[in-house]
Amino acid sequence: VNIALDAMGGDRAPREIVLGAVMAAPEYHHTITLVGDPSQIEALLPKPVPRNLVIHPATQCIAMDEKPVEAIRKKRDSSLVVAIEMVKDGIAQAVVTAGNTGAATAAALLSWRQLPGVHRPAIASTFPRHGGFFVLLDAGASPDVDPEHLVEFALMGRAYSERVLGRTDPRVRLLNIGEEPGKGSAFARNTYALMSHYPWFDGNIEGKDLFREPCDVVVCDAFVGNIVLKTTEGVAEFIMSLFREALPKSKLLRLAFLPLLRTLAPLRKKMDYAEYGGSPLLGLNGLCMICHGRSNAKAIYNALMSTQVAVDNKLIESLRQHFAHGQAK
Amino acid sequence: VNIALDAMGGDRAPREIVLGAVMAAPEYHHTITLVGDPSQIEALLPKPVPRNLVIHPATQCIAMDEKPVEAIRKKRDSSLVVAIEMVKDGIAQAVVTAGNTGAATAAALLSWRQLPGVHRPAIASTFPRHGGFFVLLDAGASPDVDPEHLVEFALMGRAYSERVLGRTDPRVRLLNIGEEPGKGSAFARNTYALMSHYPWFDGNIEGKDLFREPCDVVVCDAFVGNIVLKTTEGVAEFIMSLFREALPKSKLLRLAFLPLLRTLAPLRKKMDYAEYGGSPLLGLNGLCMICHGRSNAKAIYNALMSTQVAVDNKLIESLRQHFAHGQAK
């Protein structure tokens, strides 16, 4: 089995991407194909090169701020498009990228197409919460969806929770602006009505309860999901910056706070997206693991490891069966 | 001038509500009318009672989880409905409530109606950010709006920023899932197109930049706005709980961290909704200041003070003129 890694995508590419692959290689029982500029990639590899790392040349690179559809049409030899085409051709089984999310979503959708029975793909993003974590989807793949599509997201989120995160009978909740059934926009109320036919549905959840109430899968549309993802990031950074400012200015005095800073390590780890191994784009005939644009080597390492779990546990095949049998389950 | 305070609304009513009025009374040049159960209210007032505090009896009380429209129809003698009717009858000039937000919005809308030219009311919520604060609307008043309504929200947010928060030429941004003009859902793109005709519009803002980029007014629909409000609250509480857990368990060892905890006071203050004086419901023929359900006396004090500023600076009259002259400004 072969995992295609977009070596040129992300704010810190290719350096951190390649280093992440080097970190993962000793623990990897599949081959990692680094797609991108061979000379830049080679310069970052140790000697001797780990046996399960190979390079596949691609001459172009899609920038983080390029318009997705235009970029993937023009740059057919970009590291991202080449990696995705490798999956389509059966040469690779999954793609890992920290590049332009919109371009990755568009390229994967156009090249792989939806699984039979799935109408819209969704990005499943993992969030920390008190005593665990939950998966939120759609975190940004498909704007402008209908309530029926959120039921698909729920089924995809459940399969991902079971196959990759090891949950048994994952519970699903609908992100809404009130807990009771009649709350929210017309879209939210209609979605609630559809979801309430399923045994795994546990009702609405509000933003303030996301981080404290036990729950495995939270569904919402891509606009709301992306706003939640980015706002969470913004609030956490804001509080951390206030915390840094609250510390004394003198370096000597700061030393006194070192023990506390060390005590806070679990907190930092919990808030650190790099710990969460990327967000899979689900619902297509192939697996694309989308990493934060600012991913460092550790983030790429974790994304490669969870991609391995997804491939080993046949996540895509399980989704295909799920939807082939209809949504009755 | 007379401000009607819903003494029975909120998780900590009537105690904290009445105490907030007592705190505000010495600095208040208007009368505060405490609406609710006279015996409960009187028991909480100091002797002698401050001259500018009066009681208006109301025999009923709307619970925090009651269905809004049903509650205001059935409970015509509830503290909330009576306070709102006092404004309609010209006996009071504004309402302050920490009660059921949905009921307050519905009652004010049904009783006062929209200002001429305004189609939907909006709640303007104040958020802290690096180096200041911003106002986000709609934080939960009007689900299911059209792009035109967000232009109205922008105009209302600007008037509030100018009249109450003292901003000059407030700048407006649209909450979106990307910075560039073409980003987001169809709704967001259409809103962007409408807004771009106005000189005060500064383009899109993403969730991650809300807390660090200078900006006065952020607009979005009520669903997204309420999700942002609650998620921000949830993330802040989550980080604070992790912080508390990171502290040593022993009481003696915790003493060592007291200096740091004291240093963190500005952080707590910045994240404390009680500092922000309530969120006005804008766009109606009357002013309703909506406070957090968990409001303590300080929160009510701050809400009363900012209501005084709004009344003194003729916020509603300014909004009426704004919209009477059309939206061309």
Least confident of A230-234, A320-324, B325-329: B325-329
Residue A248's closest chain B neighbor by CA? B263
Read off the amino acid at residue B36: G
Name the H helices within A175-296: 186-195, 222-246, 251-255, 258-263, 265-271
The Cα B62–Cα B81 span in angstroms is 9
Chain A residues in contact with B267 by the CB 8 A cut-off are: 239, 242-243, 246
DSSP state of B285: S
**pLDDT of the residue at B282:** 98
Interface touch B185/A267, C-beta < 8 Å: no
State the pLDDT at residue B88: 97
Can you give the pLDDT at residue B260? 66
Q: CA Rg, chain A, in Å?
A: 20
Of the pLDDT bands very low, low, confident and very high (cuts 50, 70, 90), residue A250 is confident
- What the block records as the tokens of B118 is 């305004």
ipTM: 0.88
Cα(A292)–Cα(B208) distance, integer angstroms: 13
Q: Are strands A287-290 and B53-57 parallel, antiparallel or unpaired?
A: unpaired
The pTM for the full model equals: 0.90
Task: Tell how far CA B208 is from the center of its chain.
Answer: 22
CB contact under 8 A, B177 and A206: no
Q: Exposed, middle or buried: residue A271 (CB in 10 Å: 0-12, 13-18, 19+)?
A: buried
pLDDT at res. A200: 97
Cis, peptide link before residue B48, omega less than 30° from 0:
yes
Cβ atoms < 10 Å from Cβ of A228: 27
Q: What does the pLDDT read at residue B270? A: 67
Contact: A223, B227; criterion CB under 8 Å: no
Q: Which of B226, B234, B270 sits opposite A211 (nearest CB)?
A: B234
pLDDT given at position A328 = 43
Residues of B in contact with A140 (CB under 8 A): 177
- What is the C-alpha end-to-end distance of chain A, expressed in Å? 31
Which H helix or E strand runs over B87?
helix B79-88
Range A20-29 burial, b when 16+ CB lie within 10 A, else e: bbbbbbeebe
Longest alpha-carbon distance in chain A: 65
Name which residue leads in pLDDT, A275 or B321: B321
According to the model, what pLDDT value does residue A274 have?
67
pLDDT digits (tens, 9 = 90+) for A205-228: 999 999 999 999 999 999 999 999
Instruction: HSE, CB side, 13 Å, CA atoms: give it for residue B45.
Output: 21
Give the three-state DSSP class for A156: helix
Of the listed ranges A87-91, A251-255, B234-238, the least confidently predicted one is A251-255
Nearest residue on chain A to B140, alpha-carbon basis: A177
Backbone angles phi, psi at B65, to 5 degrees: -105, 10
Interface test with B, best of A223, A245, A260, A275 (most B CBs within 10 A): A223
Peptide bond into A138 cis (omega under 30): yes
* pLDDT value for B264: 65
**Over residues A236-256, mean pLDDT:** 77
- Output the CA–CA distances (angstroms, integers) from residue B3 to A6, B17, B29, B51, B86, in the order listed: 62, 13, 11, 14, 9
**What is the block-wise mean pLDDT of chain B (329 residues), using blocks of 10 residues?**
97 97 97 98 96 98 93 97 98 97 96 96 92 92 94 97 94 94 92 97 95 95 95 87 76 71 67 78 97 94 96 96 69
Q: Are the beta carbons of B84 and B111 closer than 8 angstroms?
A: yes
Rounded to a whole number, what is the distance in Å from the CA of B310 to chain A's nearest CA? 28
Residue A284 in 3-state DSSP? strand
Q: Which of A67, A228, A235 to mutate to test the interface with B (most CBs of B within 10 A)?
A: A235
| pLDDT classification of A128: cutoffs 50, 70, 90 | confident
Which residue of B144, B207, B270 is in closest CB contact with A230?
B207
Question: Phi-psi bin for B266: left (phi > 0), alpha (psi -120 to 50), beta?
Answer: alpha
**Residue B48 zone, left/alpha/beta (φ > 0; ψ -120 to 50; rest):** beta
Q: What percent of chain A has pLDDT over 90?
A: 78
Structure tokens, B153 = 């929200």
DSSP helix/strand/coil, B1: coil
pLDDT at A238 over 60: yes
- In angstroms, rounded to a whole number, what is the distance separating the alpha carbons of residues A33 and A54? 5
Q: What percent of chain A has pLDDT over 70?
A: 94
What is the tens place of the pLDDT at every residue in A170-211?
Answer: 999 999 998 888 889 999 999 999 999 999 999 999 999 999
Q: Which of B79, B20, B2 is nearest to B286 (CA)?
A: B2
Nearest Cα neighbor of B315 from B135, B140, B146, B150 is B135
3 state DSSP class of A25 = helix
Using CA atoms of B86, B87, B89, B92 in order, give the dihedral in degrees to the nearest 10: 70
Find the helix packing angle between B315-324 and B297-312, rounded to 10°: 50
Give the phi and the psi of residue B52 in degrees, each rounded to 5: -95, 15
Nearest beta carbon to residue A243 from set B182, B228, B267: B267
Which pLDDT belongs to residue B329? 42
Cβ–Cβ below 8 Å for A235 and B232: yes
- The pLDDT, as a whole number, for residue A66 is 92
The DSSP code for A276 is: G
Furthest CA-CA distance within chain B: 65
Hey, how many other C-beta atoms are within 10 angstroms of the C-beta on B311?
18
pLDDT score of A329 more than 70: no
